[in-house]
Amino acid sequence: MDTSGYLTVFIDESNEHLEVLYNQLLALEKNPQEKAIIEEIFRAAHTLKGMSATMGYQDLANLTHKLENVFDGIKEGRLNVQSEMIDILFSAVDYLHEMVEDVASGGSGSKDVTDIVEQLKSLEQGDVLPQDSVPLNTLKQAKTNGTQMKNVDEFALTILQESKERGYTNYEIIITLNQNCLLKGARVFMIFEVLEKLGEIIKSEPSVTELEEEQFDQTFTVLFISEYKKEIIQTNIEKVSEIESVHIVPFNVDQIQETEQTLEKSEEQPQPKDGQQGKQRHANGIANKTIRVNIDRLDVLMNLFEELVVDRGRLEQLAAELDNKDLQDTVEHMSRVSNDLQSIILTMRMVPIEQVFNRFPRMIRQVARELNKQVEVEVIGADTELDRTVIDEIGDPLVHLIRNAIDHGIESKEERINKGKPEYGTLKLEAYHSGNHVFIEIVDDGAGIHKDKVIKKAISKGVLSESQAELLSDQQVFELIMSSGFSTADQVSDISGRGVGLDVVKNTIESLGGKIAIDSKEGQGTVFSIQLPLTLSIISVLLIELQKEKYAIPLSSIIETAIVHKDDVMHAHHTKVIDFRGKVVPLAFLNDIFNVQQMIEADKDSYLSIVIVKKGNKMVGLVVDSFIGQQEVVLKSLGNYLTNTFAISGATILGDGEVALIIDSNALVK
Partner 1 sequence: MENNMSGNRKVIVFQLGEEEYAVSVQQVSSIERLMPITRVPQTADFVKGVINLRGVVTPVIDLRLRFGMEETPYSDSNRIIIVILENMEVGLVVDAANDVIDIPESEIEPTPEVIGTVDTKYIEGVAKLENRLLILLNMQKVLTEEEIEELKSVEG
Cβ proximity to partner 1: between 464 and 613 the closer is 613
> Hey, is 614 helix, strand or coil?
strand
Binding mask 317-356 for partner 1 (x = CB under 8 A): ----------------------------------------
Residues binding partner 1: number (CB under 8 A): 29
Binding mask 559-598 for partner 1 (x = CB under 8 A): ----------------------------------xxxx--
- Letter for the amino acid at 538? I
Distance CA 483, CA 507 (A): 10
Q: Which of residues 293-322 bind partner 1 (CB under 8 A)?
A: 303-304, 306-307
Closest alpha carbon to 95 in 18, 38, 23, 162? 18
Distance CA 34, CA 206 (A): 28
- Binder among 636, 655, 664, 666 for partner 1 (CB under 8 A): 636
- C-beta of residue 182 within 8 angstroms of C-beta of residue 6: yes
Catalytic, 404? Answer yes
Catalytic, 433? Answer no
Check residue 600 for interaction with partner 1 (CB under 8 A).
no
Other Cβ atoms closer than 10 A to 255: 11
Binding mask 527-566 for partner 1 (x = CB under 8 A): ----------------------x-----------------
Q: Which of residues 254-283 bind partner 1 (CB under 8 A)?
A: none
CB of 345: closest distance to partner 1 in angstroms?
13
CB-based burial label for 270 (10 Å; 0-12, 13-18, 19+)? middle
Distance CA 357, CA 378 (A): 11
- Binder among 538, 660, 665, 668 for partner 1 (CB under 8 A): 660
Element containing residue 200 per DSSP (H, E):
strand 199-205
- Binder among 31, 131, 330, 637 for partner 1 (CB under 8 A): 637
Alpha helices in 466-604 (DSSP H): 466-471, 474-480, 502-511, 590-593
CB-based burial label for 629 (10 Å; 0-12, 13-18, 19+)? exposed
Catalytic, 118? Answer no
Cβ proximity to partner 1: between 175 and 660 the closer is 660
Other Cβ atoms closer than 10 A to 117: 18
> Hey, is 372 helix, strand or coil?
coil
Q: HSE, CB side, 13 Å, CA atoms: give it for residue 280.
A: 18
Distance CA 207, CA 525 (A): 57
Check residue 643 for interaction with partner 1 (CB under 8 A).
yes
Check residue 648 for interaction with partner 1 (CB under 8 A).
yes
Q: Write down the catalytic residue from 19, 29, 39, 68.
A: 68
CB of 668: closest distance to partner 1 in angstroms?
12
Cβ proximity to partner 1: between 409 and 650 the closer is 650
- Binder among 53, 463, 638, 669 for partner 1 (CB under 8 A): 638
Cβ proximity to partner 1: between 201 and 667 the closer is 667
Q: Which residues are catalytic?
A: 46, 68, 404
Binding site for partner 1 (CB under 8 A): 303-304, 306-307, 549, 593-596, 636-643, 645-648, 650-651, 653, 657-661
